Homo-oligomer: A and B are copies of this chain.
Amino acid sequence: METREKLCRAALDAMNEVGYGRFATEDVAERAKVSRGALTHQFSSRNQLIIAAYDYLMTSWEHGWGQIARYPKRLEPVEVTDLLWNNLYRSPHYVASLEIMLAARNDDELGKGIRAIMVRWSAHRDRLIAQLLGTSASDKKTRQFVQMNLCVLRGIALNPNFSSETSSNVQGKLVEEWKRIVTSDFHFTTKP
């Protein structure tokens, strides 16, 4: 594997495990089994590394979703919810993406880079979802549906970090509950 890729993966792992606060380039180099010199050669600064790692993650999501969109089948709203949950929020590096976006909030330099990538990914995602639903990405109802799903699933994905619940599979039940709501509340298909 290329050095850059190894470093991006290691950076995401580190971000997942230790969080932005304790994230250190030294640690990343070690995880990637690469010298610190190699890292500094590839990435001129810590922020550059983080931006590259984020870009790597978003690109991998884009590829994954590109495959999904090949299915010619038209999906029901609840199937889109399922897709989002299984292919985004259960991604092993979801927490990393969260840490990075939260950090980008305060750092202008980092924020600029991250935002550009996020805009690209968002557009890609929304276009694919609209395609799967058989609607347009600029359709108001579609946008609202997508926004709502992103919010709800994000909140559920974070639940383990915010809840004192210890019982198993709380997330699964919450997702099921939300899917039930989606099934009964959201409809896009034209009448037969």
Task: Say whether, besides A19-B105, A20-B21, A22-B106, A150 and B154 are in contact (CB < 8 Å).
Answer: no
Main secondary structure of the interface of A (DSSP, over half): helix
Within 8 A of B (CB), among A92-115: 98-99, 101-103, 105-106, 115
Decide if A185 touches B181 in the complex (CB within 8 Å): yes
Shortest CB distance A175–B (Å): 10
| Chain A interface residue number, banded | 35 or more
Q: Write the nearest CB–CB distance from A72 to chain B, whole angstroms.
A: 29
A164–B49 Cα distance when bound, in Å, is: 22
> Which residues from chain B contact A178 at a C-beta distance below 8 Å?
148
Residue A144 is within 8 A (CB to CB) of chain B in the complex:
yes
Question: Once the chains bind, are A103 and B19 in contact (CB under 8 Å)?
Answer: yes
| Residues 1-53 of A at the B interface (beta carbon under 8 Å) | 17-23
A151 touches B161 (CB 8 A): no
Question: Which A residues form the contact surface with B (CB < 8 A)?
Answer: 17-23, 98-99, 101-103, 105-106, 115, 118-119, 122-123, 144, 147-148, 150-156, 158-159, 161-165, 170, 173-174, 177-178, 181, 184-185
In the complex, 12 of the A-B residue pairs with CB atoms within 8 angstroms, ordered by the A residue number, are: A19-B20, A21-B21, A21-B23, A101-B161, A101-B162, A122-B164, A144-B173, A150-B163, A151-B174, A152-B155, A154-B155, A181-B185
